[in-house]
Structure 1
Amino acid sequence: MRIWGKVLGFLFGFMLSRNIFGALLGLWLGHRFDQGMGFNFSNLAGPKSEADRQAAFFYSTFSVMGHVAKAKGHVSSHEIAFATAYMDKLGLNAQLRQQAQDAFREGKMAGFPINDCLAKFKRSCAGRPDILLLFLEIQIQVAFADGDLDAEEHDALRNIAKQLGFSVKELDNLLEMIMAGASFHQGQAGQTVNKGKQLEDAYKVLGVSKDASKAEIKKAYRKLMAQHHPDKLIAKGLPPEMMEVAKEKTQDIQAAYDLIAKQG
């Protein structure tokens, strides 16, 4: 039997009104709370351990990945290949790969509760905005898996960003940085890329303009490195299996900064 709503309602009602009528009103409101309007306080803290937070990141990453892949109505071969390559990059064992595949499959099902999933994930990342940022970057990469961003995929990303607390402007900036990062990474991997385009992409990877001062460039570089440092992200709840994602990102950030520095 729930009684705490009645007790607290009576006390607060009396304290605020200083008379029995206010106390009775508080008692009635407390009774309503006890009957079914209660709040599940056990959910406030989210996952209780580091393992729980890492599991939440792992599941949310692949289920939302499936949702984004299905945004335009069907999952293309490019998106399936991207998800598979991602699992390969992470070096998942058979059990974790199966869990990732199950989450991806669940995410692309009709009626997948995307907002509920993101709300639970965000609660698990309380005080860890860098984890949310990396998560959003991963979903942007999924949307660009086929080399294009459809309107439906863009809408899906906007909703994901909104649910996680990012503004439209922040999302647009990330989209530009991720697109440039993909092109820049190709150049770093040895693919033939125009040097002028490579330098242009390097500025975008750091999120600065060509006219930025050395101080501004260094500040942007340090901020990005701090946000994506693998060890820091692991400490904040990133699953160890996904360290390679953060490591690759920091390598591109470092390479972009070094390329720009050479020009000065």
Structure 2
Amino acid sequence: MLGKLLGILFGSMIGAIPGAIIGCFIGHQFDKARRRQQGFQSAFGSGASQAERQTEFFQAAYAVMGHVAKAKGQVTKEEIQLASVMMDRMNLSDEQKKIAQEAFRQGKDADFPLLETLRKVRFSAGRRRDLLQFFLELQISAAFADGDLHPSEIQVLQTVAQELGFTAQYLQQRLRMQEAAFRFQQGGGFGGYQQQGQQSGGGQWQQRSTASQLNDAYDLLGVDKDADSKTIKRAHRKLMNEHHPDKLVAKGLPPEMMEVAKQKAQEIQSAYDLIKKEKGFK
């Protein structure tokens, strides 16, 4: 509206009624461009607001991670180690590590505002579902840090999933996939299954190990072991698209977390490569 008024005023100055009409048209175009710019800033944020949202996402992720770790009563050394490993993966500066550690500590407090924190994360992410999924998977990873999923941890994860807009069925699927990913890593599947032939224990041990890792690879991709190549390829493409580091950062993932996304993508690729080798397709 502001553009139309200015356009009419300017047009009247140069040509009465015809000038006013031309000015109104120019002003209308100005208003359309202005609305588009405002819409873009509202959806994706200006540089400063985007940086603020990334900082909030980063702090919330570590705070909720601390809350999940505390759910069963006592934070284990494995959970503390996981938080430290993730900090190392992100190549955090000393100042950033202090922020992450403080957020993790706050999440362990009895009065930590879990629901409020999750609602802020969901509001900030908007329709960017991949970001919310990444956030949920971070919390699932924290729960699996010691290789055991406690009922109280499941309860917290159910709350996290619900507040972020995910169904109970979706959470169960991701829990199964993360459990398989944990075993896959422990078995050397994450970039390590190629070294099986160097392990001791004989061919029978290697055969059992390979079968176990294959099962975990299928579960990691969320497909049945009898699935055809088309189904497996589709599942692989979907997961890789969901965890593509560049796409996640473009949608608002803090740059510090890009390395975590890269390693998750590598884990998915390793499982897919193992299945491809077994099934014999390209």
- Measured against the shorter chain, the TM-score band is 0.7 to 0.9
| Higher gyration radius (CA) | 2
| TM-score normalised by structure 2 residue count | 0.75
Q: Does 1:178 align with 2:178?
A: yes
Distance in 2 between residues matched to 1:45 and 1:119, nearest whole Å:
17
Match of 1:203 in 2: 218
Shift of 1:53: 2.2
Determine if contact 1:79/1:145 at 8 Å carries over to the other structure: yes
Shift of 1:45: 7.4
User: How many pairs are equivalent?
Assistant: 221
Counterpart code for 1:258: D
Shift of 1:185: 2.5
The SS at the match of 2:160 is helix
Distance in 2 between residues matched to 1:103 and 1:97, nearest whole Å:
10
Distance in 1 between residues matched to 2:185 and 2:74, nearest whole Å:
28
Shift of 1:46: 9.9
Cα 1:218–1:190 change in 2 (3 A) is closer
Match of 1:132 in 2: 132
Distance in 2 between residues matched to 1:111 and 1:74, nearest whole Å:
16
Cα 1:189–1:225 change in 2 (3 A) is closer
Match of 1:228 in 2: 243
Distance in 2 between residues matched to 1:218 and 1:120, nearest whole Å:
35
| TM-score normalised by structure 1 residue count | 0.80
Distance in 2 between residues matched to 1:47 and 1:105, nearest whole Å:
29
Match of 2:67 in 1: 67
Q: Deviations over 1:117-151 (max 9, x none)?
A: 00001111011111111111110111111111111
Match of 1:101 in 2: 101
Q: Does 1:213 align with 2:228?
A: yes
Where does structure 1 lack aligned partners over 5 or more consecutive residues?
Answer: 1-43
Matches within 5 A, 1:14-93: 49-93=49-93
Where does structure 2 lack aligned partners over 5 or more consecutive residues?
Answer: 1-41, 197-205
The SS at the match of 2:149 is coil
Match of 2:258 in 1: 243
Match of 2:3 in 1: none
Runs of 4+ aligned structure 1 residues displaced above 4 Å come to 44-48
Matches within 5 A, 1:112-151: 112-151=112-151
Determine if contact 1:82/1:142 at 8 Å carries over to the other structure: yes
Determine if contact 1:69/1:108 at 8 Å carries over to the other structure: yes
